[in-house]
Amino acid sequence: MRSQVVIIGGGPSGLLLGQLLHRKGIDAVVLERKTRDYVLGRIRAGILETGFVNLMREAGVSDRLDKECFIHDGTLIADGEDMFHINFKELIGDSVVLYGQTEVTRDLYDAREAAGAETYFNVEDVVINDADSDAPFVTFTVGGETKRIDCDYVAGCDGFHGVSRQTIPLSVRKEYEKVYPFGWLGILSETPPVNEELIYSNSERGFALCSMRNANLSRYYIQCSLSDHAEDWTDAAFWEELKRRIPQEAADALVTGPSIEKSIAPLRSFVTEPMRWGRLFLCGDAAHIVPPTGAKGLNTAASDIHYLYNALVQVYEEKDAEGIDRYSEKALARIWKAERFSWWMTTLLHRFPEMNAFDLRMQQADIAFLRENRDAQKVMATNYVGLPY
């Protein structure tokens, strides 16, 4: 079997790359280790940068997104009882879009099926062979049968625990990591959101975030200990703790209800360099992870896809390898800026175990500067809405 590109990972980044390439007549096979239903069952973030939305439009899969998305012109920052608005539209003339990652993935799967593009689910034992040569190939097992796909390029979109990054020799790659000493306890509830925009809240009890998926589906988070377990938190205990961490006006407006999903996610910043080895290219979580505070996880994956997609089109249509050769350089230049922003948002809004009185005063001063200084707000808005590709 042969394909021009093999995409390892059937999440949104791999599917988006596949759809973009299909529209250009470039063959791409997608390998996914789980089922479609499993992938669609994962609950993930839903804040999309303008660049991501434009890629969905270029891929021809934005009809439902454009009809059903919520446009957010800003966000709210709370510090105790004090809450202020960062108006993206007024500050920089741009906005973000709220549209769940599950819906993005569903749209991309539907488009892939409609196109008749080849996707293998439940694959096991994936091995990327000869990636540092001119003739790479991928072997895998599906349904008890071993298969081989010869290809020109391999796109590793298989996440932090996938095989793609591990394929790059340790002598070649260098990894940078910061593990945060807390996690996020999150619940999903069939309740209206407490506010039409997100509320990021710093309180003496720890961080909280009020988010949403749609008009009747809300997502809430509170900072928690890494030793906590989701099952130890009753719904009632979660709601009471959330109310303690957000301003009273928000707590009074909060509509509570049974959780339909509850989980704890650890927070980490991670980058591996380079993002290319021979004809293997890393994208998304396979190469980098950000804490979710800045809403950058899916969006940083999209920027990788932008660079790789355009590089592949350049090499196939123009026989020009410039984009391929500079993929890692271009992708990492933007990734590190997104990492900085996500790290800054996390340190701005969370209570760290080792913080002393001076650290707390510095955090309060940072929030006060953001509240009072329009230039600081423009910097935040520019990063939150998304840096240009």
Q: Give the total number of structural domains in the chain.
A: 2
95-137 pLDDT, tens digit each: 999 998 889 999 999 999 999 999 999 999 999 999 999 999 9
Which residues does 375 contact at the CB level (< 8 Å), separation at least 6?
none
Q: Which CATH number is 239's domain given?
A: 3.30.9.10
238-286 pLDDT, tens digit each: 999 999 999 999 999 999 999 999 999 999 999 999 999 999 999 999 9
31-55 pLDDT, tens digit each: 999 998 888 877 666 899 999 999 9
Based on the fold, state whether residues 185 and 141 are members of the same structural domain.
Answer: no
The answer to whether position 12 is within a domain reads: yes
Nearest to 21 by CA among 368, 285, 314: 314
Q: Count how many Cα atoms sit within 13 Å of the Cα of residue 329 in the half-sphere of its side chain.
A: 6
Q: What is the pLDDT of residue 37?
A: 87
What range does the domain containing 281 cover?
5-72+95-177+268-345
Based on the fold, state whether residues 204 and 310 are members of the same structural domain.
Answer: no
Based on the fold, state whether residues 219 and 335 are members of the same structural domain.
Answer: no
Taking residues 58-84, what's their average pLDDT? 96
The answer to whether position 150 is within a domain reads: yes
163-217 pLDDT, tens digit each: 999 999 999 999 999 999 999 999 999 999 999 999 999 999 999 999 998 888 9
Based on the fold, state whether residues 260 and 329 are members of the same structural domain.
Answer: no
Q: Is 306 among the catalytic positions?
A: no
The answer to whether position 54 is within a domain reads: yes
96/183 Cα distance (integer angstroms) = 25
218-231 pLDDT, tens digit each: 999 999 999 999 99
Based on the fold, state whether residues 18 and 110 are members of the same structural domain.
Answer: yes
Based on the fold, state whether residues 212 and 250 are members of the same structural domain.
Answer: yes
Based on the fold, state whether residues 257 and 136 are members of the same structural domain.
Answer: no
The answer to whether position 88 is within a domain reads: no
The answer to whether position 90 is within a domain reads: no
Q: Tell me whether strands 5-8 and 28-31 are parallel, antiparallel or unpaired.
A: parallel
Q: Count how many Cα atoms sit within 13 Å of the Cα of residue 76 in the half-sphere of its side chain.
A: 22
Which residues does 301 contact at the CB level (< 8 Å), separation at least 6?
12, 13, 157, 283, 284, 285
Nearest to 8 by CA among 113, 161, 169, 145: 161
The answer to whether position 360 is within a domain reads: yes
Q: Is 72 among the catalytic positions?
A: yes
Q: Is 247 among the catalytic positions?
A: no
Nearest to 8 by CA among 264, 240, 308, 274: 308
The answer to whether position 83 is within a domain reads: no
- Residues 294, 384 contacting (CB under 8 angstroms): yes
Catalytic one of 292, 309, 327, 330: 292
Based on the fold, state whether residues 107 and 251 are members of the same structural domain.
Answer: no
Catalytic one of 109, 200, 220, 327: 200
Which residues does 373 contact at the CB level (< 8 Å), separation at least 6?
none
Catalytic one of 22, 288, 296, 306: 296
Based on the fold, state whether residues 187 and 256 are members of the same structural domain.
Answer: yes
What backbone phi and psi angles, to 5 degrees, belong to 246? Answer: -120, 155
User: What is the rounded average pLDDT for all residues in the chain?
Assistant: 96
182/51 Cα distance (integer angstroms) = 31
Q: How far is CA 218 from CA 1, 73, 211, 351, in A?
A: 45, 18, 6, 24
Which residues does 73 contact at the CB level (< 8 Å), separation at least 6?
87, 88, 89, 90, 95, 197
The pair of structure tokens assigned to 176 is: 């940078």
Q: Report long-range pairs for 55-60 (Cβ below 8 Å, ≥24 apart).
A: 55/16, 55/20, 55/302, 55/305, 55/306, 56/16, 56/104, 56/107, 58/20, 58/23, 59/16, 59/19, 59/20, 59/23, 59/108, 59/111, 60/19, 60/23, 60/111
End-to-end Cα distance, the chain: 35
What backbone phi and psi angles, to 5 degrees, belong to 291? Answer: -65, 150
The answer to whether position 87 is within a domain reads: no
Confidence of residue 326 (pLDDT cuts 50, 70, 90): very high
Based on the fold, state whether residues 164 and 255 are members of the same structural domain.
Answer: no
Prediction pTM value: 0.95
Based on the fold, state whether residues 356 and 273 are members of the same structural domain.
Answer: no
321/315 Cα distance (integer angstroms) = 5
Q: Count how many Cα atoms sit within 13 Å of the Cα of residue 166 in the half-sphere of its side chain.
A: 10
Based on the fold, state whether residues 45 and 113 are members of the same structural domain.
Answer: yes
Q: Is 384 among the catalytic positions?
A: yes
Q: Tell me whether strands 74-79 and 199-202 are parallel, antiparallel or unpaired.
A: parallel
Q: Which CATH number is 15's domain given?
A: 3.50.50.60
65/324 Cα distance (integer angstroms) = 30
